Amino acid sequence: MTANATQATPVVKNKRTLTGVVTSDKMDKTVTVLVERAVKHPVLGKVVRRSKKYHAHSPNNEFKQGDTVMIEETRPMSKTKSWAVTKLIEKAKVE
């Protein structure tokens, strides 16, 4: 056996990613992201939209209300914040 084969390689878990719209950017280094998903109702069979809000870390305060962003699960940074914004998908339309 070689020396390289005996060393443990770090195991990298796939982190969960979600896509949503920034609903609030009033906090420092934090944005609130609304994530919507479509779920089939178990009895009616109708497709229903479910939504949930997540607090996500934004270190440079670069994301504004209405932006579509991708967030990734991270270690807990505070009581409610355990997601981080990874990339901007679409800027908000200014009217």
Interval 21-69: pLDDT, tens: 999 999 999 999 999 999 999 999 999 999 999 999 999 999 999 999 9
- The two beta strands, 47-57 and 68-73, are unpaired
Give the mean pLDDT of 2-15: 70
- In whole angstroms, give the CA distance from residue 39 to residue 70: 20
Cβ-based burial of 44 (10 A; exposed 0-12, middle 13-18, buried ≥19): exposed
Q: Is the pLDDT of residue 4 over 90?
A: no
Q: Is the pLDDT of residue 6 over 80?
A: no
More confident residue, 28 or 13: 28
| pLDDT at residue 75 in the model | 95
| Contact (CB, 8 A) for 23 and 93 | no
| pLDDT at residue 92 in the model | 87
* CATH code of the region 15-90: 2.40.50.140
